[in-house]
Amino acid sequence: AYVPGVSDAPDELVWVDRTGRELEKVGEPGAYRNIALSPDESRVAYELADARNDNSDVWVYEFSRKVASRLTFATESDDWPLWTADGSAIVFSMVGDDSSAICSRMANGVGEVKILAKIAGVAGASDISPDGKYFVIQKLGEGGAFDLFLKETTPESAMTPLLTLNSALTSPLPT
C-alpha cells in the first residue's frame, strides 16, 4: 500500500498484508514518487527524485532479482510512469520549464525513448487505455489545478477536454 505524506525522511517501499503488517522492504530508502505496479505484479516503476539537481528519473525495480534499473537519463524531470497493458513498456512524462513530452520506453531499458506527444506547459499522462490507443492527460491549468484531457496516442492528434478544474479551486466547497 502507498500512503502519501510529507516528511524530510527518505521514503521506503514496503509490501504489507491486508492488515497493514509489514512483509518485506523493497529496495533502498529514497525520494519515491508516483509508484506504478506492473500488470503482472513482478515489477514496480517509480520516480526517484535527486535533490542534488532538482530532477527526477524513472526507475524499475524487479522483485524476483531484487534489482533496480534506471530507465531515464534526461536533464528534464521524468515523471508519472505508467505501464502499458502488456507490461512491455512504460509511458512517462518529460517535464521542462515551459513544455512537456509524453514519452515511452521499453520496460527492460532496451531501445531509445520515443516521444509520443509534445504539450505546452506542465502536463503528463495519468492513465492509458487498455488497448493503448488513448491517454488521459493532466495539464496544469491557469487556476493551479490539473485539468484533464483525452488524447489519442498518435502524435498529431488533438487533446479533447474532459474536466476543467480552474474554477473549482476558487469556489467555496458546499456545506
Q: Quick one: pLDDT band at residue 36, thresholds 50, 70, 90?
A: very high
Can you name the residues that pair with 61 across neighbouring β-strands? 44, 68
d(CA 21, CA 159): 43
What pLDDT does residue 40 have?
95
Place of cell 513530452: 101
In three-state secondary structure terms, 92 is strand
The closest alpha carbon to 110, from 80, 82, 69, belongs to 69
d(CA 42, CA 109): 16
Whether residue 8 is predicted with pLDDT greater than 70 in this model: the reply is no
The closest alpha carbon to 137, from 118, 147, 78, belongs to 147
Instruction: With beta carbons less than 8 A apart as the criterion, state whether 81 and 59 touch.
Output: no
Q: CB count, 10 Å around CB of 53?
A: 9
In three-state secondary structure terms, 166 is helix
Query: Which pTM value belongs to this model?
Result: 0.81
d(CA 171, CA 159): 26
What pLDDT does residue 55 have?
84
Q: Could you read off the pLDDT of 39-76 as tens digits, one per residue?
A: 999 999 999 887 777 789 999 999 999 999 999 988 88
d(CA 139, CA 143): 11
